[in-house]
Chains A and B, each alone.
Chain A
C-alpha cells in the first residue's frame, strides 16, 4: 500500500518502546520539511494514542499545518520517522493516507458544492454492486445511519452548496466515520462555529474517542483545549516544545511555551500621546452582517477589534473604507462625513485599509516591489499623466528601507517575497499615501515570529507619530499586547469595549463567545 523507504529516513538507533503492548496509533518523530531555503518544520514530534484526544497548539507559523499536511499525505517529509500503529509509513498521496485510516478535517471544509451530501461523503469509494454500478440506495442508507448516530438532520440528497460551515464540518466527520478512520485530525474546526455548534462538534468528538479512535485537535482557544482534550503538545517556530497531560498544565504555562519569550518583546507597545477623535463611526448597520456599530479611534491610539472569525469585523472595516455598502449610520473622518461606498474619497481624506488577504486584495503579485509600493500614490507621482520610473523607484526606496523590506531588488516580483515582507510592502503602499487613519486587518496572519515583532514595532511607532490605528486581529495575545483599547464583536454586534488595563483574555473571550459560555 505504501513504500517503506528506509534509506530515506534516518531511523533513530533506539529500539521502539517495548514497554507498551499496543503501539501508538500515530507517531511522528523529529520530522523535517523545508521548501527551498525556508524550513517550515524543523522538528515535528507528536504521538497520538487510541481513545484519546490530543491538542496541538502553537502560533501561526509554528508548523502545525505543515505537520498536518505531512500526515495527510499532501507533503512528503524530508527526514524523521512517521509510524502508524508501529509501522513505518511514507505517503505519496492523500489517497494512501486515507487508505491507512487517517481522516483530516481542514479549517475550511473541502466539499464539492455541486454534488449531494451523500456523494460528498462517499466520493471515490462509493458502495458498488458486482458490475461496478454505484449502489445509491445503500449509500443513502448509510449516510442516514451516520447522521442518526451523530444526531444531526441534514438532507442527504441536497447539494452541499449553501450549507453552514458547521454542517459542512459534520459532513467531513461523517466522511471520516464512513471511512472508519482510526486517526482523525481536526485543523481548527471551531474557528467559524457558534457556541451551540461547538458543543455539538465536541459531543461527536468525545463519542469518537470513546470508540477507541485517536483524535488530534488544533485550536487557538484555550478553553476548548482544556474542555475537550486529554493531552497537549506545543509547537513553536517549526519545532516541538513539549507534551503534557492536560491536567498537569495551565493556560499561563501553555502561553509561555507557545511564545517562548517575553510578551513585551513580541508586542513592543510604545507609549504614545493620545489626541482627539479622528475616525468616528456611528450606528453603522448592514442587515444580516453588522448592526448598530459605533466607535471612535483617536490620534496616536491603537484600537484592537477582536472577535471570532465571521463576527463581521472585516465587513465593518470594508464598509468604513467604502468598499462595501451599508444601510444606515455614518462615518466621519476628521470631523467631516465620508460619503458611502466611495473608497477614492476615503483615501484622499487620509484613510488607509490594509486588507485581510494580502495576496488577493493587497498586492499585485506579478508586479515589482516598487510598483506595488507606489500603487496607491501613482496619481501624485505622475507628471502630466505619465508615470516615470525615476520618482517611482525613489518613493519605493524610501519606504522599503524604512520598513526594512527584505528583497533582492525593488524590481523583484512581489510574489517571490516571504509573507512577512509582502505584508511590509502592503503597509508601505498605504503609508506612502500619508494616512491619518490606518485600518489593518489581521496584520500578522501567516508571518513568522521575528517579522511579526517587526510589524508590531512598526505599528507602535506609527501610533507614536500620531497615526490613529484600528487593528483587527483574531490572535488574542496580539490584541491584548498592542491595543490601547479593545473592541469586541460577536455575530455582527459590538459586545464589549475594554481599556488596556481591563482587557484580560477571559473578559475579551467572554465578550466574543458569550453564547458558548452560557451553553457550557
Chain B
C-alpha cells in the first residue's frame, strides 16, 4: 500500500490519485526492471523477443512459478512463510502421472481436481500446525518440506513418469496456445487476477494484511486470525497443487525430485516483487512480476554472455537489492511522515 502524505483538505481528482498510486507503487519499479532486462537481451539477440519461440518462452517459462509465488505471497502477507511448496508441487506432479497410469482413461479434469485437492490438503496440514501449535511457520514448513518430499520418494522410488505415460490432450495443455498466448500463461493470469481481486476487495483478503501487519492488534480487533492463517496456507497448497498438475503437463517427465528448490524461488519472487517478509505489505502483482523477472533474467544472462557461475549470484544480488531498496523507501517514508507531523504543529 502506498500512502499519500498530501493534506486531506486538498481535493485530489480520483484519476490523478490512481495515477499517482501507480507511479509510486513498488511494483512499478520492478516492472521497469523487467522491461529493461527484456530490452537489453533483445538488443543483443533479437530472437529473445521477436521469434515465436522466444516470445512463447518469455511468457511460458515463469507461468508455473507465478502460481506458486502468488500462493507464497498470500502466506507471507500474513507474516508466515511456506517452505513446503516445492515438495507439494513434486508430490502432486507425481500423483498426476500415477493417476493417468493407474486409471487409464481418467478425464484430465478429475486429475486437476485431485491435484488441487491434494495440494490444498497438504497446505491445510501446514496451516493447522502453524495456527494451532503456535510454532513459527518457518520451522513447521521446513519440517513438512522434508516430510512431503520423503513421502514422494517413498512412493515413487526410482520410478519416474515419462511423457509417453500421459495422454496427448493433457500434454497439449502444457504446450498449447490460444491466440499465440500459452495456455499455462492464461491459467496463471486468471489465478493472478482472481487472487489480486480477492486480496484487494474482500474483507477476508484485507484481514490477511491486517494479521500480517500486527498479529496482536488483529487479535484485539476480534479478527479470526486462526482461520485466516489456515486459509492462506490452504491457498498456497492448492496453488502449488495446481502448479504440480501443470508441471506434469508441461515437462512430461516427473521424477521424485520435481520442484526441488521452488520454495526459494517463490519466496525470492515475492520478496523481489515487494512483498515484505515481515508481512502486511505487498501485492500478488508484485510477486508475479518478481517471478517473471527472476526467470527472465536467468534466460537473459547467457545471452548477455555472463558465465553460468555468476547467474545465481545475480539472483542473490536482486533479492538483497530489493530488500535494501524497501528498507530505504521505508526510512524515507517514515522521515517524510515525521516531517509532516512536525509541520502540523
- Which residues of A come within 8 Å of B, CB atoms? 72-74, 93-99, 106, 110-116, 119, 123-126, 128, 132-134, 144, 147, 153-159, 161-164
Contact = CB atoms under 8 A, between A and B. Distances in A.
Nearest to B211: A112
A157 B221 contact: no
Give 3 closest A-B pairs by Cβ, nearest first. Answer: A162-B337, A95-B222, A114-B280
A125 B219 CA distance: 14
Given A74-B220, A94-B219, A153-B9, A112 B210 contact: yes
B5 A158 contact: yes
A158 B222 contact: no
Contacts of A111: 214, 217
Contacts of A163: 337, 341
B341 A126 contact: no
B281 A132 contact: no
B6 A110 contact: no
A119 B201 CA distance: 12
A119 B206 contact: yes
Given A98-B222, A115-B209, A155 B214 contact: no
A206 B341 CA distance: 26
B313 interface: no
A116 B209 CA distance: 11
Contacts of B207: 123-124
Nearest to A154: B8
B158 interface: no
21 contacts: A94-B220, A95-B223, A98-B221, A99-B222, A115-B209, A123-B207, A123-B210, A124-B203, A133-B202, A134-B203, A144-B8, A153-B9, A155-B5, A155-B7, A158-B4, A159-B1, A159-B3, A161-B334, A162-B333, A163-B337, A164-B341
Interface residues of B, number: 36
Contact of B3 (A99, A123, A158): A158
Nearest to A167: B341
B216 interface: yes
Contacts of A123: 206-207, 210, 221, 223
Interface in B90-135: none
Contact of A112 (B203, B217, B224): B217
Given A98-B221, A114-B281, A123-B223, 5 more contacts: A74-B220, A112-B218, A113-B213, A134-B201, A161-B337
A73 B214 CA distance: 19
B147 interface: no
B206 A126 contact: yes
A12 to B, nearest CB: 30
Contacts, number: 107
A111 B210 CA distance: 9
B82 to A, nearest CB: 20
A72 B219 CA distance: 11
A161 B332 CA distance: 13
Contacts of A110: 214, 216-217, 220-221
A153 B220 contact: no
A162 B223 contact: no
Given A155-B6, A161-B337, A162-B334, A112 B213 contact: yes
B166 to A, nearest CB: 39
A125 B202 CA distance: 11
A153 B340 CA distance: 13
Contacts of B324: none
A134 B209 CA distance: 15
A135 B47 CA distance: 46
A149 B213 CA distance: 28
Interface of B: 1, 3-9, 201-203, 206-207, 209-210, 212-214, 216-224, 276, 280-281, 333-334, 337-338, 340-341
Contacts of B203: 124-126, 128, 132, 134
A503 B345 CA distance: 32
A95 B221 CA distance: 7
Contacts of A125: 203
A132 B201 CA distance: 8
Contacts of B1: 114-116, 159
Contacts of B333: 161-162
B220 A106 contact: yes
A112 B220 contact: no
Contacts of A144: 8
Given A106-B220, A124-B221, A115 B280 contact: yes
Nearest to A153: B8
Contacts of B220: 72, 74, 94, 106, 110
Contacts of B6: 155
Interface centre among B3, B6, B340, by most chain A C-beta atoms within 10 angstroms, is B3
A174 B208 CA distance: 22
Given A113-B280, A114-B1, A114-B213, A156 B8 contact: yes
Nearest to B14: A137
Contacts of A93: 222
Contacts of A98: 221-222
A124 B281 CA distance: 18
A116 B206 CA distance: 11
Nearest to B214: A112
A13 to B, nearest CB: 34
Contacts of A157: 3-4
A429 B217 CA distance: 34
Contacts of B212: 114
Contacts of A114: 1, 209, 212-213, 276, 280-281
Contacts of B214: 110-113
A115 B203 CA distance: 13
B256 to A, nearest CB: 40
A94 B12 CA distance: 37
B223 to A, nearest CB: 5
A154 B344 CA distance: 10
Contact of B221 (A94, A113, A156, A162): A94
B3 A116 contact: yes
A519 B3 CA distance: 34
Contacts of B4: 155, 157-158
A101 to B, nearest CB: 13
A153 B343 CA distance: 13
A116 B3 CA distance: 7
